[in-house]
């Protein structure tokens, strides 16, 4: 598989007057084009910091990220970032919320607006365009947040526990919903989660991080015997339990 990003020896620490807290140390792995990568690890192991570094919201203190685009040009891939909460603004209607990214970059061209409308239509939010976010259910709000992320046509999607704020039942259906959408678009995605079953059911490969300071313990490719790789189907695969135990052991050790 083609490589998109190569992280090499990434390190990052948080500084306060009380001292230095190392969050990440020597983190290295590749991100392949078109794959769904999950990152799991104990809480506080620097998962979110790692995503912020990949999104270039913060700069790593050591290490480098190499870029290799399929088109052979050297430019950083466009990042779409989905946060834990949808953060839809109540003072904007759904259309204004999902087109926020385009608005910020002054790219509200007719073509882009048509694209946003098409996204809204294909993910069933067409008739909610003029509605306020509070009028939508939790699942619909996450969809709107996803559309907001997709509207800027990112090359890589970063998902920072986007389902953890939902209750269990909604979580299952929303995560499979969102993941099916992402699979269909064929985008590269990196998902952070602390839910092992979620990671196994969604990802192609799982990067396991150690306790703080986070470093890569192992990378587990997931091969499930299912007809279609949807999160719901995957949970029924025979290998599911084995992967779960393997991940559990890796995290415990």
Partner 1 sequence: MNEIVTNITLRKAQVSAEQLNFVKSHKKYHFTITLSRWIILFLFLFLWEISTDLKWIDGFFFSSPKRVFLCLYKLFVEQELFLHCGITLFETLISFFLVTFMSIFIATMLWYSQKMADILEPFLVILNSLPKSALAPLFIVWLGTGMKTIIVAGISVALFGSIISLYTGFKQIDKEEMKLIYTLQGTKKDVLTKVVIPGSVPLLLSSMKVNIGLALVGVVIGEFLSARRGLGYLIIYGSQVFQLDLVITSIIILCVIAMGLYLCIQYLEHYYKKL
Give the footprint of partner 1 on this chain (CB under 8 A): 55, 57, 79-81, 83-85, 87, 89, 91, 100-101, 103-105, 127, 148, 152
**DSSP code, position 36:** E
Count CA atoms within 13 Å of residue 177 on its CB side.
21
d(CA 226, CA 54): 31
Q: How far is the CB of 214 from partner 1 (least distance, A)?
A: 20
CB of 158 to partner 1, least distance (A): 8
**Shortest distance in whole angstroms from residue 198 CB to partner 1:** 21
How many Cβ atoms from other residues are within 10 Å of residue 151's Cβ? 22
Nearer to partner 1, 57 or 121 (CB): 57
| Complex with partner 1: residue 14 or 89, whichever CB lies closer | 89
Cβ-based nearer residue to partner 1, 98 or 216: 98
**Nearest approach, Cβ of 123 to partner 1 (angstroms)?**
14
What are 100's two structure tokens?
A: 């926020």
Contact criterion met (CB below 8 Å) for 122 and 143: no
CB of 143 to partner 1, least distance (A): 14
Is 2 or 127 the residue whose CB approaches partner 1 more closely? 127
Q: In what order do the strands lie in the sheet with 36-40?
A: 79-82, 156-160, 188-192, 36-40, 205-209, 216-221
- DSSP 3-state percent helix, strand, coil across the chain (nearest 5): 35, 25, 40
If the CB atoms of residues 87 and 241 are measured against partner 1, the closer one turns out to be 87
């Amino acid at each position: 598989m083609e490589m998109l990003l190569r992280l090499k020896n990434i390190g990052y620490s948080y500084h306060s007057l009380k001292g230095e807290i190392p969050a990440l140390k020597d983190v290295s792995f590749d991100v392949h084009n078109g794959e769904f990568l999950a990152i799991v690890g104990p809480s506080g192991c620097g998962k979110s910091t790692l995503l912020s570094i990949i999104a270039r919201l913060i700069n790593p203190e050591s290490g480098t990220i190499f870029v290799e685009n399929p088109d052979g040009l050297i430019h950083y891939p466009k990042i779409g970032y989905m946060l834990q909460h949808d953060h839809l603004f109540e003072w904007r209607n759904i259309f204004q919320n999902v087109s926020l990214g385009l608005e910020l970059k002054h790219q509200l061209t007719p073509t882009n607006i048509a694209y946003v409308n098409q996204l809204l239509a294909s993910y069933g939010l067409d008739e909610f365009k003029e509605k306020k976010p509070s009028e939508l259910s939790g699942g619909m709000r996450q969809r709107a947040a996803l559309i907001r992320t997709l509207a800027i046509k990112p090359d890589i999607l970063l998902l920072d526990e986007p389902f953890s704020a939902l209750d269990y039942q909604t979580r299952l259906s929303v995560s499979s919903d969102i993941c099916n959408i992402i699979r269909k678009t064929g985008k590269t995605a990196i998902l952070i989660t602390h839910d092992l079953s979620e990671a196994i059911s969604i990802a192609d490969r799982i990067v396991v991080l150690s306790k703080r300071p986070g470093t890569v313990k192992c990378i587990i490719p997931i091969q499930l015997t299912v007809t279609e790789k949807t999160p719901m189907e995957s949970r029924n695969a025979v290998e599911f339990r084995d992967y779960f135990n393997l991940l559990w052991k890796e995290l415990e050790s």
